[in-house]
Amino acid sequence: MRLMRHLSFNSLCFRLPDGGEKCQYALTFADGMLTLNVCSGTAREGRSMRNHITVFLLTAAVALAFGSISQAGAGVQQYWERAQQEDYKSPEELQAQHAREVRKGQFYRELMRGNPNAKSVALTFDDGPHPQFTPQILAILKKYNVKATFFVVGKMAKQYPNLIKQEAAAGHVVGNHTYDHVNLTKIPLGDISIQWQKGNDVIKRILGQPPCFCRPPGGDYDRAVITAASANGLTTVLWTDDPGDYAKPGDRVIEERVLRRIDNGGIVLIHDGIQQTIDVLPQIIEHLQKRGFKFQTVAEMTQECAETIPASKPKTPGSIPSLKIR
């Protein structure tokens, strides 16, 4: 332990003129937190005192060790708290990151957008399920005969499995949004795959099969995140359209932002759990339908892209091409 290296124990014995012996003991913690100085009378007393000091030293060492473990545990807790902070990448940031990957010849198992030559759009809902909000979304999608994609949080899916079953039964795609909804670039490397795997396991227990698609919270990913997703059989899906509805800017603001960015092959990021989004969802769907857009799930979008768009050769077997946002 780091703290233990700062603990020292020293003794000094010297003979007195009358033939006796004096001994001095010092137990010191380097940062000055613990200091003990003891002077014994004779050598015999010194031996007895040494026994007491030994016991004291061992006790202090154990206490310091537990203190170090406690501090380490607190550090881990703070680490995960930071990873749970909301921090969303904008479509422009995602586009720039993808452009850098393409320049470096890095082709990952990811979907950046649909077919840019097709008038189609994908509605994707993150952060569910929620018993108060998910049924409302499902009812609206059913009314307009729209199929969408739900990226669900594993621990929420575990709590409300019937909502996951309702999503799948209605023909929607259920994707993995990690188990704990943490920023995957801010947790230890070994925990990244665990987040994907635990999310997969929950969905598989509910639906009988694991998901094929995932989305990292906040769109924050790096090579380790996307490689771990691929290793768990997942295609990472990002977005081209983010109205920032998680900040609850108002239903009209959400509607205006969504419609302003819509383009062929667009992937819209909105959230399950925001009443403002639900309130304006019918107007968004109606407007897009009037403009001639077709709604797709990310599974349909991926299939269409694989069939119609020439792709650069993927780096990993079985991976789909990485599509450039235009």
Catalytic residue numbers, as ranges:
126, 271
102 token code pair = 């393409």
Q: Give the residue among 83, 77, 88 at the shortest CA–CA distance from 186.
A: 83
186 token code pair = 């801010």
Q: Dump the DSSP string for 182-197.
A: --GGGS-HHHHHHHHH
Q: Please state the separation of Cα 272 from the chain's center in Å.
A: 17
Q: Dump the DSSP string for 97-156.
A: HHHHHHHTT---SEE--S-TTS-EEEEEEEEE--TTTHHHHHHHHHHTT---EEEE-HHH
d(CA 214, CA 119): 24
Contact assessment for residue 183 and residue 220, using Cβ atoms and an 8 Å cutoff: yes
3 token code pair = 């703290």
H-helix or E-strand containing 252? helix 251-261
185 token code pair = 């670039």
What is the residue type of 264? N
Contact assessment for residue 316 and residue 236, using Cβ atoms and an 8 Å cutoff: no
Q: What are phi and psi of 138, to 5 degrees?
A: -60, -40
Non-local (6+) Cβ contacts of 221 within 8 A are 184, 185, 236
Q: What are phi and psi of 8, to 5 degrees?
A: -135, 150
